[in-house]
Amino acid sequence: MYSLIIPSAKIVSQDLQKLGKLPAAIYPLNKGIVLDYIYELYGEKVSNMVIVTKEKADKVEGTVLKLPYKDIIQNEKLDELKDVGYTVLQGLKADESSNSVIINFADTIVEDVREEIEKDSFYYAEDEISEKWTYFEEENGVITSINDKTLNNSSKSESGKLFVGTFCIGDKEAFIGCLEDASHNENNIDSFYAALSVYSKTHKLKAVKANQWYDIGHSDKYYDTQLEVKAREFNHIEIDKSRGILKKYSDNVSKFLGEIKWYLKLPDDIEYVRPRIFSYSLSYEKPYVEMEFYSYHTLHELYLYGELSKSQWKSIFERIKFIITDFSRYKLKDENIKSALKSMYLDKSIERLEKLKKDERFIRFFNEDIKVNGVTYYSLSEIIEMLKVEIPKRLYNSEEFQIIHGDLCFANIMIDENLNFIKVIDPRGQFGKYDIYGDLRYELAKLFHSIDGKYDYIIKDLFDINLNKETNEIIYGVQDKERDFNLFNELKASFKDIIDKNYDEIELIESLLFLSMIPLHGESYNHQLAMLSTGVQILDRIIDIKK
Which helix or strand (DSSP H or E) is residue 28 part of?
A: strand 28-29
Alpha-carbon span 501 to 507, nearest angstrom: 12
The pLDDT tens digits for 494-529 are 999 999 999 999 999 999 999 999 999 998 999 999
pTM above 0.95, yes or no: no
Q: What is the pLDDT of residues 133-187, one digit of tens each?
A: 899 999 999 999 998 865 555 454 578 999 999 999 999 999 999 999 999 877 7
Q: Which of 180, 178, 186, 187 minimizes the C-alpha distance to 205?
A: 178
- Report the distance separating Cα 529 and Cα 466, nearest Å: 9
Task: Indicate if the alpha-carbon torsion angle 384, 387, 389, 392 is positive or negative.
Answer: negative
**Please, which residues bridge with residue 281 across strands?**
288
In angstroms, the CA 3 to CA 51 distance is: 11
pLDDT at 241: 82
DSSP-derived secondary structure for 458-504: HHTT-EEEEEETTTTEEEEEE-PPP-SS-HHHHHHHHTHHHHGGGHH
pLDDT at 217: 77
Domain 2-212, CATH number (from 3.30.360.10, 3.90.550.10, 3.30.530.20, 3.40.50.300): 3.90.550.10
β-bridge pairing 73-77 and 401-403 = unpaired
What does the pLDDT look like over 180-202, one tens digit per residue?
A: 999 987 778 999 999 999 999 99
pLDDT for residue 236: 84
- CATH top-level class of 306-541: alpha beta
pLDDT of residue 150: 54
- The DSSP H or E segment spanning 173 is helix 172-182
pLDDT of residue 450: 98
CATH (residue range 234-292): 3.30.200
Output the pLDDT for position 188.
81
Question: Can you tell me whether residue 293 is helix, strand or coil?
Answer: coil
Q: What is the pLDDT of residue 456?
A: 96
What are the residue boundaries of the structural domains of the chain, listed by start? 2-212, 234-292, 306-541
What is the C-alpha separation between 536 and 62, in angstroms, rounded?
Answer: 29
Q: Which amino acid is at 502?
A: N
pLDDT for residue 157? 57
Q: Say how many C-beta atoms besides its own lie within 10 A of residue 186's C-beta.
A: 4
Residue 18's pLDDT is what? 85
Q: In whole angstroms, what is the distance from residue 252 CA to residue 346 CA?
A: 24
- Separate counts of helices (H) and strands (E) for the chain: 19, 27
* pLDDT computed for residue 230 by the predictor: 62
Secondary structure class of 221 (helix, strand, coil)? helix
List phi, psi (to 5°) of 143: -75, 120
Q: How would you write the pLDDT of the chain (547 residues) with one tens digit per residue? A: 899 999 999 999 988 888 899 999 999 988 889 999 999 999 899 999 999 999 999 999 999 999 989 999 999 999 999 999 999 999 999 998 888 999 999 999 999 999 889 999 999 999 888 888 899 999 999 999 998 865 555 454 578 999 999 999 999 999 999 999 999 877 789 999 999 999 999 999 999 999 989 888 766 667 666 666 665 555 588 888 889 999 999 989 999 999 999 999 999 999 999 999 999 999 999 999 999 998 889 999 999 999 999 999 999 999 999 999 999 999 999 999 999 999 999 999 999 999 999 999 999 999 999 999 999 999 999 999 999 999 999 999 999 999 999 999 999 999 998 899 999 999 999 999 999 999 999 999 999 999 999 999 999 999 999 999 899 999 999 999 889 999 999 999 999 999 999 999 999 999 999 999 999 999 899 999 999 999 999 999 999 999 9
